[in-house]
């Protein structure tokens, strides 16, 4: 060792013309899949690569523009679709020391969960994968997976666009606060598409199972039991649909800027109550979208910035 100056420091990520500043570290992990050649005489004698890519994982700070697409670009209408665009979109990591790492042909393979509340978030971890350029990946050509150059970051962080207000859920006429806020997951299943000589060339959306979880504050025991459809005229017979026929809207309290979630119809699939001296009455509840009679989207996410003269989305 000849110098005390070792490599370290933060970075930002650029993908699809959007700059992601992060909460905590960025993890860059080369991903290789290997086949072991094994001889009955000698045992393992060789390892052969069958796929190669680079994974980038991070928790975004959640700077929002007028759309959610930099974080959640997929919806239920995308089931079965390939996610890579016709023209490759590279992942670019720019370090504070001026190093630019370009990772070829990136896609989002893990969308972040959304936390609606003041105490964390607004987003959880997300992951991008660089699959490598088709032209040289199979042969391992130079710069087919990555390239390194010098570049300074030109983007500026606008902390006023990180929205962390309190939220309220309205379900029909029932208004619900969240003891710890509200958490939304897309429930995305995404599968690699592989071609023998090239490895992974794309990803396909195999499933989306959105859900909203929360600990309700405000409703009575009777209110929440009624929403569970255990009995009465709304419950129906066993085997009938458990949809509530109610629109769920999750919006910031007091008209603040933030993310708006609308679910045209839904059901509560899980919930419990707690009776004790050190807990509030309601435990964890899960609300999931249902297809309504109009066939509208199972849910919509939008950004509302009241300082935006065009009204966001």
Q: How far apart are CA 127 and CA 26, in angstroms?
A: 10
Question: Are 102 and 190 found together in one domain?
Answer: no
What SS3 class is residue 150? Answer: strand
pLDDT score recorded for residue 9: 92
pLDDT score recorded for residue 305: 83
Which pTM does this prediction carry? Answer: 0.90
Those residues with Cβ within 8 angstroms of residue 243's Cβ, 6 or more apart along the chain or in another chain: 265, 266, 267, 290, 292
Question: Are 129 and 73 found together in one domain?
Answer: yes
Question: Are 97 and 64 found together in one domain?
Answer: yes
* Segments forming the whole domain that contains residue 22: 11-157
Closest CA to 130 of 69, 207, 202, 34: 202
Q: How far apart are CA 13 and CA 20, in angstroms?
A: 5
Q: How far apart are CA 96 and CA 113, in angstroms?
A: 27
User: Which mean pLDDT values do the consecutive 10-residue runs of the chain (313 residues) have?
Assistant: 88 96 97 94 93 96 91 91 93 97 97 95 96 82 91 94 95 94 96 93 95 96 91 82 90 94 94 93 95 78 72 44
Question: Are 235 and 196 found together in one domain?
Answer: yes
Neighbours of 31 (CB within 10 A): 14
In a domain, residue 176? The reply is yes
Q: How far apart are CA 129 and CA 127, in angstroms?
A: 7
Question: Are 62 and 80 found together in one domain?
Answer: yes
pLDDT score recorded for residue 293: 63
Tally of domains within the chain: 2
Query: Domain containing 171 — which CATH number?
Result: 2.30.110
| Domain-terminating residue out of 157, 191, 213 | 157
Neighbours of 193 (CB within 10 A): 13
Q: How far apart are CA 185 and CA 249, in angstroms?
A: 15
Show the tokens assigned to 265: 């119809």
* CA 58-129-127 angle, 5° bins: 25
């Amino acid at each position: 060792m000849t110098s005390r100056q070792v490599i370290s420091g933060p970075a930002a990520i650029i993908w699809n013309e959007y700059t992601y500043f992060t909460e905590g570290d960025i993890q860059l992990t080369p991903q290789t899949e290997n086949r072991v050649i094994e001889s009955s005489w000698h045992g393992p004698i060789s390892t052969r690569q069958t796929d190669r890519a680079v994974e980038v994982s991070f928790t975004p700070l959640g700077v929002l523009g007028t759309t959610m697409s930099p974080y959640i670009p997929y919806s239920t209408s995308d089931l079965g679709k390939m996610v890579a665009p016709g023209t490759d979109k590279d992942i670019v990591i720019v370090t504070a020391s001026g190093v630019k790492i370009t990772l070829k042909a990136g896609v989002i393979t893990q969308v972040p969960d959304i936390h609606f509340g003041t105490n964390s978030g607004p987003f959880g971890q997300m992951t991008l994968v660089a699959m490598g350029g088709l032209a040289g990946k199979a042969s391992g050509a130079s710069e087919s997976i990555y390239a390194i150059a010098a570049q300074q970051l030109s983007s500026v962080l606008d902390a006023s666009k990180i929205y962390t207000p309190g939220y309220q859920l309205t379900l029909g006429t029932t208004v619900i606060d969240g003891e710890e806020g509200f958490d939304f997951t897309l429930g995305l299943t995404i599968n690699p598409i592989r071609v023998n000589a090239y490895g992974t060339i794309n990803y396909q959306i195999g499933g989306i199972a959105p859900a909203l979880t929360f600990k309700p504050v405000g409703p009575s025991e009777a209110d929440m039991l009624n929403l569970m459809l255990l009995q009465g005229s709304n419950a129906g017979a066993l085997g009938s649909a458990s949809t509530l026929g109610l629109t769920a809207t999750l919006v910031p309290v007091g008209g603040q800027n933030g993310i708006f979630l609308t679910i045209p119809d839904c059901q509560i699939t899980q919930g419990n109550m707690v009776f004790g001296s050190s807990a509030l009455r309601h435990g964890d509840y899960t609300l999931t979208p249902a297809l309504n009679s109009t066939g509208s989207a199972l849910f919509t996410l939008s950004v509302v910035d009241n300082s935006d003269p065009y009204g966001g989305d």
